Amino acid sequence: MTLTDAFIHLFTMKAFLVMVSGVGLGVLVGVLPGITAGMLMALTLPFTYHMSSVDAITLLISMFVGGVSGGLITATLMRIPGEPNSVMTCLDGYQLAKKGFPGRALGLGNASSVVGGALSWLALVLMAPPIASAAVALGPFENFALIMMALILISSLSEGSFLKGLSAGLLGMLVAFPGIDESSGIMRLTFGSAELEGGFNSLPVILGMFAVSQVVADALNIDEKTDAIEASMNGMFVTLRDYVLHGWNMLRSSLIGIWIGILPGVGATIASIVAYTTARNLSKTPDAFGRGSEEAIVASESANNATTGGTLIPLLTLGIAGGLTDSILLGALVIHNLQPGPLLFKNNPEIVNTIFATHLVAHLVMFAMMTFGISIFARLMKLPKAFILPMVIVFSVLGAFALNSRSFDIWVMLGFGVLGILLEAAKVPLAPFVVGLVLAPVAESELRAGLMASAGSFSPLVERPIALTVLVISAGLFVWPFIREWRRARLA
């Protein structure tokens, strides 16, 4: 299937319905209090077992795109970031809406989202294939070094908590160890439990960490009050003049979003903060920021949507998930027997092209949906949490059970939900935990395959230039947080 075929396939009845459902659900969870796009994707993943790989990937990518965009509505009308990445939109979107221009705020945000998404699609399509071609030359030692680098990078970016981040990554890795060792067939770390012989499935673990933890956190904050503004269609349609006026800001913020999306572990929230800050620093009216500035809304929304394409580049080409939603996408590919990385381009071009095509068309569908369905979505955001939160638990239970029809997975999910709450309460970053969980089996199998080929010698790790370079970078990333802190202490 070529890229053109993938676009044509998307417009067949079934694929189009899958995509529209995915975008619609993604936008919806951005609007509904207490549910995030990551949670939706985790909840949906077990049910994609029964779908073809192409349909499953179409659905998940559509949810990914819709979820990043949906937060705009609650950010603008309720001053609540429906998704964490809309946090900067809250500052100015709500103020502009409060001044009597909710349609204008939503319209600008929506237009910026689609521009950011389209530019990141271009980056994805142009950059991913050459990177994948170059990455085919990588052997198991290079792949192992890359995974280690991803883990250290995501931990080192846990500002101020590098030690916690790294230990969380190791704790996540060890969750992947129990069960039958693939290379030797030896049972390990099962503690005599027959249930553990199959190991922990990553899905109930992710569901627990995402969904159960968030439901409990939402119950804790059940009394949170908001001042909602009524949605209005006035000003929803952005003119060509607006695109010209804000064009440079859209382009700059999108490039920031794409670049930050490529970096593992940083994510859309940081992208919108960096783009917002850059826009304010370069603005002729910086004082307007925080008081309903159009520039601010454009910067924040262009950047967070632009991360979607950037994030997919390392995921597809190197099999490196940089964040939580990426980890779920990575898990989805693995569940459908697809190995992300350079060989995906060679062995499963239909999947790669489906991802490319869906990424772009889902942004256009999202744009149309947000433009014409804004009043419906705005009504849904007032749904009481008393209905939503218990339903999330029911879907989590069903999702965990649906994997292997065993109650053990439900308990695993709830157990990791409790662990997630405790780790969050201790301010331990969860992203390295999930990345460790997903990447540990790949890291182990790559290193063991390499060692079997080298008769047990580790020397290729330092003899092969790419592996050595990646290890040197990893070492640099490892020591950097300590140097940074030492310098700060000296300056203080």
Partner 1 sequence: MTSGRADAVKTGRIQRAAEIGYIVLVFVVALVLWREAGKLPPAPYDPLGPAAFPRWAAYGLAALGVAMTVRLLLGGGLGRAAQSLVSGLDGAAEHDLKPWTAVLTLMLALAYAGVLSLRSIPFVLCTGVYLFAAGAILGPFQGRRLAVVGLFAVVASVTLELLFRRLFSLDLP
Contact status: 478 vs partner 1 (CB under 8 A): no
Query: Which pair of structure tokens corresponds to residue 201?
Result: 């499935």
State which of positions 50-79 bind partner 1 (CB under 8 A).
Answer: 50
Binds partner 1 by CB under 8 A, chosen from 1, 51, 125, 170: 170
> What SS3 class is residue 179?
strand
Tokens 């370079």 correspond to 469
Task: State the distance between the two ends of the chain, measured CA to CA, in whole angstroms.
Answer: 59
Provide, rounded to whole angstroms, the least separation between the CB of residue 214 and partner 1. Answer: 5
Residue nearer to partner 1 on the CB measure, 127 or 449: 449
56, 118, 270, 306: which one binds partner 1 (CB under 8 A): 270
CB of 419 to partner 1, least distance (A): 9
Least distance to partner 1, CB of residue 161, Å: 4
Residue 300: name the closest of 324, 284, 325, 278 by CA: 278
Q: Is 303 in the site for partner 1 (CB under 8 A)?
A: no
CA–CA separation, 149 and 475 (whole Å): 8
Taking the least distance from each CB to partner 1, the nearer of 301 and 444 is: 444
The span of 24-32, 94-102, 129-137, 158-166 binding partner 1 (CB under 8 A) equals: 158-166
Burial grade of 239 (CB within 10 A; 0-12, 13-18, 19 or more):
exposed
Among 426, 472, 479, 483, binds partner 1 (CB under 8 A): 426
492 binds partner 1 (CB under 8 A): no
Note whether 145 binds partner 1 by CB under 8 A: no
Sole window of 138-146, 173-181, 193-201, 298-306 interacting with partner 1 (rule: CB under 8 A): 173-181
Each as own residue / partner, the long-range contacts of residues 369-373 (CB below 8 Å, 24 or more positions apart, any chain) are 369/20, 369/23, 369/24, 369/27, 369/66, 370/27, 370/69, 370/70, 370/72, 370/73, 370/106, 370/110, 370/113, 371/107, 371/110, 371/236, 371/237, 373/27
Kindly tell me which of 13 and 455 has the beta carbon lying closer to partner 1. 455
CA distance 392 to 214: 10
d(CA 183, CA 185): 6
The answer to whether the CB of 93 falls within 8 A of the CB of 112 is no
Determine if 261 is a binding residue for partner 1 (CB under 8 A). Answer: no
Does residue 451 bind partner 1 (CB under 8 A)?
yes
Q: Residue count at the site for partner 1 (CB under 8 A)? A: 87
CA distance 71 to 81: 6
Q: Is 383 in the site for partner 1 (CB under 8 A)?
A: no
Q: Using CA atoms, how far apart are residues 443 and 205, in angstroms rounded to an integer?
A: 19
389 binds partner 1 (CB under 8 A): yes
**Residues 189 to 218 in contact with partner 1, rule: CB under 8 A:** 189, 191, 209-210, 212-218
- Cβ neighbours of residue 480 closer than 8 Å, sequence gap 6 or more: 156
Cβ–Cβ < 8 Å for 245, 238 = no
Q: CB under 8 A: which stretch of 21-29, 134-142, 176-184, 352-360 binds partner 1?
A: 176-184
CA distances from 236 to 40, 80, 228, 246 (A): 27, 20, 18, 16
Q: Determine, following the binding rule CB under 8 A, whether residue 397 of this chain makes contact with partner 1.
A: yes
Establish if 35 lies at the interface with partner 1 (CB under 8 A). no
Q: Contact 156/473 with Cβ under 8 angstroms?
A: no
The one among 17, 376, 425, 483 contacting partner 1 by CB under 8 A? 425
Tell me the C-alpha distance between 79 and 71, whole Å: 10
* Nearer to partner 1 (CB atom), residue 178 or residue 314: 178
- Write 193-198 long-range contacts (CB < 8 A, 24+): 195/406, 195/408, 198/404
Which residue number, 364 or 403, has a Cβ lying nearer to partner 1? Answer: 403
Least Å from the CB of residue 141 to partner 1:
13
452 binds partner 1 (CB under 8 A): yes
| Site for partner 1 contains 281 (CB under 8 A) | no
Candidate residues 8, 136, 163, 479; the one interacting with partner 1 per rule CB under 8 A: 163
Q: Is 219 in the site for partner 1 (CB under 8 A)?
A: yes
- For residues 455 and 491, which CB has a smaller minimum distance to partner 1 in the complex? 455
Burial class (CB in 10 A: 0-12, 13-18, 19+), 90: buried
Q: How far apart are CA 220 and CA 201, in angstroms?
A: 29
Per CB under 8 A, the list member of 431, 435, 467, 471 interacting with partner 1 is: 431
Please, is 125 exposed, middle or buried when counting C-beta atoms within 10 Å of its C-beta (0-12, 13-18, 19+)? middle
Sites for partner 1 among residues 316-355 (CB under 8 A): 324
- Specify the residue, 17 or 391, whose C-beta has the smaller distance to partner 1: 391
The backbone region for 208, taken as left when phi is positive above 0, alpha when psi lies in -120 to 50, beta otherwise, is alpha
Candidate residues 134, 220, 368, 376; the one interacting with partner 1 per rule CB under 8 A: 220
Chosen residue from 98, 164, 291, 336 binding partner 1 by CB under 8 A: 164
For residue 183, state whether it binds partner 1 (rule: CB under 8 A): yes
**Contact between 384 and partner 1 per CB under 8 A:** yes
Shortest Å, Cβ 124 to partner 1: 23
